[in-house]
């Protein structure tokens, strides 16, 4: 990837700032993303798509409410498990920004039932997905869609540069939703959490919104060591995500907040 120009970097930072500035919770994050991302990377239709990989169903928040009908979402769901980008990103913790063309040549994609029964009918020729949350069940992505002009490799690289920061904003938005009713200085209750002092320290930094790389730098460890600590924390607490781990040890009893519940659907779709 070629380095970003100063203009591109400023525009990317401005986009992140605009999304984050109004981000009071998951719904604000979704609305901000679908509103401001097209200003950074042109998109005819932008959505925050949440795929439940177990049920094979998707919910969407769109910048054009009503652009995708309930019937069209039902058609999409029939192809969810064979969708090239869902197959690439689903249950993949190393998921990065991809275009359909990165998985299938354009001609091959146009020959699929997915394209002819779904994308062609809603007037979309090209798709790029920016995953912001992936776990064993849920895949949450901003999806940019275009008719006509394909997304360039530069578009993909620019989206990938901001993707980790969008993921951080998503985690913070979900955590804020969980802690909305708690005082800002709510303490951790570790009485029932059999964590080592270092694991507790790692979890404290996770609660402060730090990434694995940030925590590694603070603790003088490697990112892989931090990942190992988190794996043990998840196992001990019986959770699967960093947000769930933080909430498990809050003073007020909390339940795990599944990714699919983070954003209520605002486009016509499944009830």
Q: Is residue 79 part of a domain?
A: yes
Average pLDDT, integer, range 93-98: 95
- Locate 168 and state its tokens: 């951080």
Give the CATH number of the domain where residue 208 resides: 1.10.10.10
Helices (H), the chain: 6-21, 26-40, 70-78, 84-89, 100-103, 106-110, 113-114, 153-178, 197-207, 212-219, 223-237, 242-248
**Whole domain around residue 95: which residue ranges?**
6-177
CA distance 126 to 109: 9
Does the pLDDT value for residue 271 go beyond 60? no
Cα Rg of the chain, angstroms: 19
- pLDDT score for 13: 93
- Locate 38 and state its tokens: 């097209």
Q: Residues 122, 58: one domain?
A: yes
Give the CATH number of the domain where residue 112 resides: 3.30.450.40
- Least confident span in 108-112, 136-140, 212-216, 267-271: 267-271
- pLDDT score for 254: 35
Q: Are 140 and 92 in contact (CB under 8 A)?
A: no
- pLDDT score for 1: 65
Q: Is residue 197 part of a domain?
A: yes
- Least confident span in 92-101, 187-196, 197-206, 258-267: 258-267
Does the pLDDT value for residue 219 go beyond 90? no
> What does pLDDT average to over the chain?
85
Write the DSSP assignment of 59-126 as a string of letters: EEEESSTTSS-HHHHHHHHHTGGG-HHHHHHTT-TT---EEHHHHS-HHHHHTSHHIIIIITTTT--E
The region, left, alpha or beta by phi > 0 then psi within -120 to 50, assigned to residue 73 is alpha
Does the pLDDT value for residue 194 go beyond 80? no
Does the pLDDT value for residue 156 go beyond 60? yes
Q: Is residue 128 part of a domain?
A: yes
- pLDDT score for 201: 86
Helix (H) or strand (E) holding 46, with range, is: strand 45-52
- Least confident span in 46-55, 145-154, 193-202, 244-253: 244-253
Average pLDDT, integer, range 3-21: 92
Q: Residues 186, 234: one domain?
A: yes
CA distance 83 to 75: 12
Q: Is residue 264 part of a domain?
A: no
Q: Are 58 and 49 in contact (CB under 8 A)?
A: yes
**What percentage of the chain reaches a pLDDT higher than 90?**
58
**Of 196, 232, 200, 195, residue with least CA distance to 215:** 200
**Of 209, 194, 210, 197, residue with least CA distance to 249:** 194
Q: Who wins on pLDDT, 56 or 190?
A: 56
Hey, is 188 helix, strand or coil? Answer: strand
**What percentage of the chain reaches a pLDDT higher than 70?**
85
Q: Residues 173, 217: one domain?
A: no
Q: Who wins on pLDDT, 179 or 191?
A: 179
Does the pLDDT value for residue 125 go beyond 90? yes
Q: Residues 16, 132: one domain?
A: yes
CA distance 210 to 228: 16
Q: Residues 192, 170: one domain?
A: no
CA distance 162 to 48: 15
CA distance 122 to 71: 11
CA distance 204 to 215: 10
Angle at 17 (CA atoms; ends 14, 18), nearest 5 degrees? 85
Average pLDDT, integer, range 219-229: 90
């Amino acid at each position: 990837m070629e380095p970003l120009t100063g203009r591109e970097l400023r525009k990317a930072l401005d986009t992140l700032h605009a999304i984050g500035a109004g981000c009071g919770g998951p719904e604000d994050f979704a609305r901000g993303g679908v509103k401001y991302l097209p200003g950074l990377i042109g998109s005819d239709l932008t959505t925050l798509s949440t795929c439940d990989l177990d049920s094979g169903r998707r919910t969407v928040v769109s910048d054009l409410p009503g652009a995708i009908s309930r019937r069209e979402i039902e058609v999409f769901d029939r192809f969810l498990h064979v969708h090239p980008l869902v197959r690439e990103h689903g249950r993949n913790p190393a998921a990065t920004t991809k275009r359909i063309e990165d998985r299938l040549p354009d001609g091959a994609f146009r020959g699929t039932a997915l394209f002819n029964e779904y994308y062609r009918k809603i007037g979309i020729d090209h798709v790029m997905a920016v995953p912001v949350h992936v776990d064993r069940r849920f895949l949450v992505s901003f999806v940019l869609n275009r008719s006509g002009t394909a997304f360039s490799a530069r578009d993909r690289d620019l989206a990938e540069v901001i993707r980790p920061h969008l993921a951080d904003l998503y985690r913070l938005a979900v955590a804020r939703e969980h802690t909305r009713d708690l005082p800002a200085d709510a303490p951790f209750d570790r009485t029932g959490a059999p964590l080592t002092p270092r694991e507790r320290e790692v979890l404290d930094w996770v609660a402060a919104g730090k990434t694995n790389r940030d925590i590694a730098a603070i603790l003088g460890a490697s990112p892989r060591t931090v990942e190992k600590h988190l794996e043990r924390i998840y196992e001990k607490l019986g959770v699967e995500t960093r947000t769930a781990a933080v909430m498990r040890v809050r003073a007020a009893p909390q339940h795990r907040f599944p990714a699919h519940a983070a954003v209520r659907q605002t486009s016509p779709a499944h009830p």
